Amino acid sequence: MAGGTYYSHTVYPVFKSSGSSATARAEFEAIQTGFDKFPDLSVSNAMKILGINSGGTAVEAITSTGTGNAVRATDPTFTLTDTTTNDASTSQHGWMKKYPGGTSTFLRGDGSFAGTGNASMIAVQRSSNTVLAVADTSKIFELTGTFTQTFSAVASLAVGWYVVLINVSTGDITLDPNGAETIDGVASYIMYPGEARLIYVNEAGTALKSIVLKSFNRTFTATENFTKPPGYTYFSGLAWSGGSSGQRNNNAAAVSVGGGGGGCSDFMLLSSLFGATEAITIGAGGAAVIGVANGNIGGVTSIGSIFNIQPSNVWYNGGSVYTALVALQGSSVTGASGYDGGSSNPTGYDNSNSIFGGAASCQFQTKVISGSSIWGGGAGGSVDGSGNLAARGTSVIGGSGGAASIAGNGTAGTAPSGGGGATQTGTSSGAGARGEVRMYGVV
C-alpha cells in the first residue's frame, strides 16, 4: 500500500532489538485501521464498484444509476434520458444513437439510419390505403382501384428509403405525403392509370421525390378536371368532338340526312402550358330528333383554353380541328385550323370522307353511302325520297355512324364521335356519340 494514506509503518521492530508486545500490537492496529477504510466483503456489497468517498477519507462500495464518474453500465437499474448530447459523431466517440425501429434500416458510416441499398424487391398488391412506412422500403406496390395513398413522416423514413408504385387499374390513385410535407414540390397529385413511379426520400431527408418509370394513359369520357402530374415534358394523345344526330323530316318522299361524325386530332402539348388543374370538357353528342327537325350538332371537346376540337357548323358535315388561344408549342394563336372535316352539299358536291376530321353524311348527289374517316367519327346513314338507304360511315380509330331507317328509329352513333342515323317517319333519329380525350405523358 502507498505509505501515509492507508498505513505507515514505524521503525518497530528495530534490527537486533528485543521485542515488545505493546509496540507490536500498536503496529497491527495501524494495519487494521488501514483495512477498515475498505468496505466489507459481504453479500450487501456484491457487484458494487469501489470509489473514494466525498470526504476523501475512505473507500466505499458504490451503486450509481445517474450521472457522474462512477456509473455501472451493467447495473440493471441503469437508465439514460432521451438526449443526444453525448451521441457519437464523425468527429468524436460517444453513445450510439437511439434505434429508429423497423427491420429494414441500418446505421451508416455518417451516423444516419437508412434503408439498405441492396434489399430484395418484393411485389405487393394493394387496393386500399395502408400508410407506407420504414418497413416498406424497396417494395413494389401494384395499386388497383381509386383511393388516397399516404406516407409516414419523412423523418422516420430517412434518407435511403424508396418504393416503386404502379397503378395497374383504371382508377386514380392520389399520393398524399404526411401532414404538410410535399412530394415533387406539391402537396399531392394523382397517379393516373398505367403510371409507374419510383418514390424516394430526397438527399436532405426533408421531402419525397419521384422518377417516372412508365407514363400514364388516361381516357376521359366525361367532363372532369385533369390534375397535372409532375415529371413530364409533354402531354400527348387524341381528342374527339361530339358527333351530330341524324335528321327526322317525317316525309317519306324527301331525303332525310344522317349526322356528321365528330373531328379528331392528335396533340402534343408542353406541360408548362398546363395549370395545376385543367378542365377536360367532353363534347356531348347531338341529341336525337323527335319532332320534325334537322339533326343537332355535337359539342366541342377542349383541354382548358389550350386546345379544342370543333364540330361542324351544320349537322351533316364532319367536325374540324382547331387550336384555340394557344398553339401546340405555346405561341399565341386564335382559331388556327388543324384538320378539316368531310363535307357534303344537297346541291351538288359530296366530299364526305376524311382522315382526321369527322365524316359527312350522304346527300345522294354523287354518292350513295355516308362518309368514313380514319381517325374522326363516321357519318350516320341517310335515306332518300325513294326509300333507298345510304349505309352508315365507319371509322378505324373513332366511332362509326348509326344506321338510317325509313319508318323505324335511326340508330345512335358509337363513341367516340359517331354521327347518328336519320329517319323519315320513325319516332326519333339516332343521337350523335359523345367526344373523348385519350391522354398520356411524355417524359
pLDDT, tens digit, for every residue of 358-406? 778 877 765 678 888 999 999 999 999 999 999 999 999 999 999 999 9
Helix (H, G, I), strand (E, B) or coil at 379: coil
Q: At 255, list the grid cell.
A: 331525303
What is the rounded average pLDDT of the residues 137-141? Answer: 96
pLDDT digits (tens, 9 = 90+) for 268-287: 999 999 999 999 999 999 99
Q: Is the peptide bond between 193 and the residue preceding it cis, with omega within 30 degrees of 0? A: no
What is the rounded average pLDDT of the residues 150-166? Answer: 96
pLDDT band (50, 70, 90) for residue 170: very high
Q: Is the peptide bond between 13 and the residue preceding it cis, with omega within 30 degrees of 0? A: yes
Q: Report the C-alpha gap between 54 and 178 in whole angstroms.
A: 53
Q: At 229, list the grid cell.
A: 402530374
> What is the predicted pLDDT for the residue at 134?
95
58 contacts: CB under 8 Å, gap ≥ 6: 37, 38, 52
What is the rounded average pLDDT of the residues 147-169? Answer: 96
Q: Report the C-alpha gap between 373 and 419 in whole angstroms.
A: 11
Cβ proximity of 376 and 243 under 8 Å: no
Q: CA torsion sign, 304 to 305 to 306 to 308?
A: positive
Q: Report the C-alpha gap between 360 and 376 in whole angstroms.
A: 11
pLDDT band (50, 70, 90) for residue 333: very low
Beta strand 140-143 with 123-126: parallel, antiparallel or unpaired?
Answer: parallel
Q: CA torsion sign, 175 to 178 to 182 to 186?
A: positive
Helix (H, G, I), strand (E, B) or coil at 385: coil
pLDDT band (50, 70, 90) for residue 347: very low
Tell me: pLDDT of 12 over 70: no
- The beta strand positions in 57-120, using DSSP E, are 59-62, 105-107, 113-115
What's the predicted TM-score (pTM) here?
0.71
Q: Report the C-alpha gap between 167 and 145 in whole angstroms.
A: 9
Helix (H, G, I), strand (E, B) or coil at 271: helix
Q: How far is CA 50 from the centre of its chain?
A: 63
pLDDT band (50, 70, 90) for residue 97: confident
What is the rounded end-to-end Cα distance, in angstroms, of the chain?
A: 82
**pLDDT, mean over the chain:** 84
Q: CA torsion sign, 327 to 331 to 334 to 340?
A: negative
- The residue with greater pLDDT, 325 or 95, is 95
Tell me: pLDDT of 101 over 80: no
Tell me: pLDDT of 337 over 50: no
**Which H or E element spans position 27?**
helix 21-35
Q: What share of the chain is helix, strand, coil (3-state, %, to 5)?
A: 5, 30, 65
Q: How far is CA 46 from the centre of its chain?
A: 62
Q: Report the C-alpha gap between 291 and 170 in whole angstroms.
A: 40
Q: H helices within 109-266, ranges in order?
A: 154-157
